[in-house]
A = this chain, B = another copy of it.
């Protein structure tokens, strides 16, 4: 029911490093933001991988996966491209034949495209009439589960600034990326108010969950 997001951020506020390319979509140093998650069973399982650790971090990830009924993401996060789909070398997205979402994924784009259904329950639905329509469709698809915004930063900022986000969780990674990367919190409405609702501690990452308590009408 809630609109949320769940994202790894460096202590200096970046969700990707500088110089993002198709070969290096997380930018220089950006892979460090996600190392904490790759060894976890809760991440490996939806990615079709066996084994992995269970610990405080994996409980946090498992909870997010269990609560997510639909995903929203920006076109650039989906493929790294822009413009008409027929010219996009990565038009199928980053995730191969069985994407790890296993729920409907709504992609914000200016370029219409038929939905794509993948094995394992992931459907990519392309929405061309804005973030509120995408949210309506995602809510309908999610049923009584949450809608999670996957990114990128600009999409998250747009939803935050409209006051539509209910809660979010930041995984603060003990890394400093320096400068030139993609900041998560930028261009925000200064009237947004938040409160901390939960903090989960581990040696590798600090999980801070906030509720949005008010915003400009």
Give Cα A115 to B28, complex, Å.
46
Q: A177 within 8 Å of B by Cβ?
A: yes
Give Cα A208 to B200, complex, Å.
12
User: In the assembly, how many copies of this chain are there?
Assistant: 2
* Cβ–Cβ contact B208 & A196, under 8 A: no
* Cβ–Cβ contact A194 & B176, under 8 A: yes
Neighbouring B residues of A175 by C-beta, 8 Å: 193-194
* Cβ–Cβ contact B189 & A178, under 8 A: yes
* Cβ–Cβ contact B196 & A177, under 8 A: no
Neighbouring B residues of A203 by C-beta, 8 Å: 195-196
Task: Digitize A178-205: 1 where CB-to-B-CB distance is under 8 Å, 0 elsewhere.
Answer: 1100010111111011111001010110
Give Cα A202 to B69, complex, Å.
31
Tell me how many residues of A have a C-beta within 8 Å of chain B.
32
Q: Which residue of B lies closest to A170 (CB)?
A: B11
Q: A159 within 8 Å of B by Cβ?
A: no
* Cβ–Cβ contact B174 & A195, under 8 A: yes
Neighbouring B residues of A46 by C-beta, 8 Å: none
Nearest-Cβ distance from residue A60 to partner chain B, whole angstroms: 14
Give Cα A193 to B11, complex, Å.
11
Which 4 pairs, one residue from A and one from B, show the smallest C-beta to C-beta distance? A178-B190, A12-B185, A13-B13, A174-B196
